[in-house]
Structure 1
């Protein structure tokens, strides 16, 4: 019996991948963007384009350049989050360190007019009032990874997974 590899691949579950970048100001505030297609703010980022053989790191860089006009190489991986949802396929979300931007870089931000309304620097303690609950958890884990130098944080729906004994 031979394996029909194409049929096997077609039978596997589908998963989306997304990548974002955590940019900060010198005072620790986080850069968020306001999309025109949802009620909450987000990080610069978006979907990994698998048809382009794009990696999450490449997607984070591309999306940052498209959305805010800054072509910057992402730093270290801070978070990997397995996100479940009844409204969509499962998502693997990657957050990368974008570093601390200077005044010149902030002044150079140019928003992608088709998708974004504005950008803002938000203090860490205020993030939960701008982003959805899962993103708030993910951002908290990213900021902890930045503070303690460890990581990346492994999350499931924004929280560390329960480990079996």
Structure 2
């Protein structure tokens, strides 16, 4: 196969997007959520993995957390991987990493990326469904279950566990 043939082959392959986020908690188990200014609802610190630049999901989660809330935190273990289908776009593989339990001083140091975010807050588990869209709420809940049980990362499709 020539270089030209290989490039044509690669260009014809299906596309998939990648996103990565960090799950940060306080000592009471509340989850840090951010409020984007470009859509309704809340989210976790995170975003698109810049794979075209050679960025890995773990690196993307760290970069996005730093950009969005001003905290440079090395992501902990992988908690969930979610294959997320959507209209008018390729599927997204969403990686969710453990950001750990932060001390109050870290929360006090948060500086929002004003170009994308309006605010942040800590939300109890029981309030997540009222703040997060369905698939994201299910992904966060699955990640919290992984943390509670000590199990391996959750494999999800559209936020639902994959049986296998």
TM-score clears 0.5 = yes
Q: How many residues align?
A: 162
1:42, distance to aligned residue in structure 2 (A): 0.2
TM-score by length of 1: 0.96
TM-score by length of 2: 0.96
* Cα RMSD, aligned residues only: 0.9
Name the structure 1 match of 2:38: 37
Q: Any stretches of 5+ residues in structure 1 without a counterpart?
A: none
Name the structure 2 match of 1:7: 8
Query: How far apart are the structure 2 equivalents of 1:86 and 1:42?
Result: 19
Name the structure 2 match of 1:67: 68
Query: How far apart are the structure 2 equivalents of 1:72 and 1:149?
Result: 21
- Poorly superposed stretches of 4+, deviation over 6 Å: none
After superposition, the C-alpha distances for 1:129-148 in whole angstroms (9 at most, x for unaligned) are 00100001100100000101
1:62, distance to aligned residue in structure 2 (A): 0.2
Q: Any stretches of 5+ residues in structure 2 without a counterpart?
A: none
Query: How far apart are the structure 2 equivalents of 1:65 and 1:120?
Result: 17
- 1:124 and 2:125 equivalent? yes
Moved more, 82-91 or 16-25: 82-91
After superposition, the C-alpha distances for 1:52-75 in whole angstroms (9 at most, x for unaligned) are 100000000000000000001000
